[in-house]
Structure 1
């Protein structure tokens, strides 16, 4: 798996990017820190009459983030990609120091997207591409290996589906 991860990392970071796209990728990745992007979307959903979807997405995100960052990272962890392979323009101001697997950003993104989509299926057309973009930025900025991102996305989606099976938000 590590060879595949290294191959993907070389493919992503071996390319000269466009300064605007690099800044956008770093900005999107940073805006997703601590769920800010997703909670902002949840606020818009709640204000537009979709409170149940906002709650389901937010609870899914919180559960997936806790599972990824407090449980799975401690059990499986692993080193992050070396920063010397990441172009300077793509590096985060504060590179994460926690273990790499799974990507908490990807887990949160896909948990939120799945949670909202379970309530509002049409939102999947907006949220899944945005979740995939956030996950891709984690490769672009060198914070994660591809397997971390896939693992996080899978974990987030599963947590949201399991959460939906065991509870219905009361809104």
Structure 2
């Protein structure tokens, strides 16, 4: 990609971030702040995965796939992605993100959103194995991603990258799991 396209994408990302910050949404502020905080360290994602593993059959397989996908997405986003890209976090004060919607600003790099990557990894893995869960988990993943922009800790582009990365990690886990099931565990 040439520098002009990257500059334009960065400008769009900043403008979308500023638009979210400028939109008055008092009814959503507390709820999205709580959701963002509750998604820290994949607590919600892993809780869902563990709960599913307690039910035999397809639910157990969905929970195991979900947990593996969350682990891979978390590692890929937080260790590899943030370590390679090192994008600075947004300037919440400059964008005038309301204080009552803020969560603590992470010290890690901004790109990609690890919260979003993990939520989309869970939604994709579990939703593929257990289709009735795909819509609610997909909506949950979108809400987690949006909450990260709403609270001022990520640009929209970070969230989009996290969603793509999380979905890709889930697809890899599912493909590897299928290969193990088909081969009977033989390499």
The alignment's TM-score, normalised by the length of structure 1, stands at 0.93
Task: Work out which of the two has the higher radius of gyration on C-alpha atoms and give 1 or 2.
Answer: 2
The range that moved more, 110-119 or 127-136, is 110-119
> CA–CA distance in 1 between the matches of 2:124 and 2:135?
11
Aligned-pair Cα RMSD in Å: 1.4
Structure 1: which 5+ residue stretches go unaligned?
A: none
Which moves more between the two structures, 1-10 or 127-136?
A: 1-10
Q: Distance in 1 between matches of 2:175 and 2:25?
A: 42
Q: Which residue of the partner structure matches residue 152 of structure 1?
A: 162
Structure 2 gap ranges (5+): 1-8, 182-187
Report the CA distance between 1:2 and its aligned residue: 1.3
Does structure 1 conserve the Cα–Cα contact (< 8 Å) formed by 2:50 and 2:67? no
Q: Please say if residues 33 and 105 of structure 1, whose CA atoms lie closer than 8 Å, have aligned partners that are also in contact.
A: yes
Inter-partner Cα distance in structure 2 for 1:167 and 1:46: 15
Show the counterpart of 2:24: 16
Q: Distance in 2 between matches of 1:61 and 1:74?
A: 18
SS at match of 1:167: helix
Contact 2:46 2:70 in 1 (8 A): no
In the alignment of these two chains, the number of paired residues is 168
State the match for 1:69 in structure 2: 78
In the TM superposition, residue 44 of structure 1 has moved relative to its aligned partner by: 2.5
- In the alignment, the residues of structure 2 paired with residue 42 and residue 152 of structure 1 have an alpha-carbon distance, to the nearest angstrom, of 19
In 2, distance between residues paired with 1:10 and 1:74?
26
Note the C-alpha offset of 1:16: 1.6
Shift of 1:42: 1.7
Q: 2:69 aligns with which of 60, 78, 87?
A: 60
| Contact 2:115-2:144 within 8 A present in 1 as well | yes
Residue 87 of structure 1 deviates from its aligned partner by: 0.7
Q: After TM superposition, what 4+ stretches of structure 1 lie above 6 angstroms from structure 2? A: none
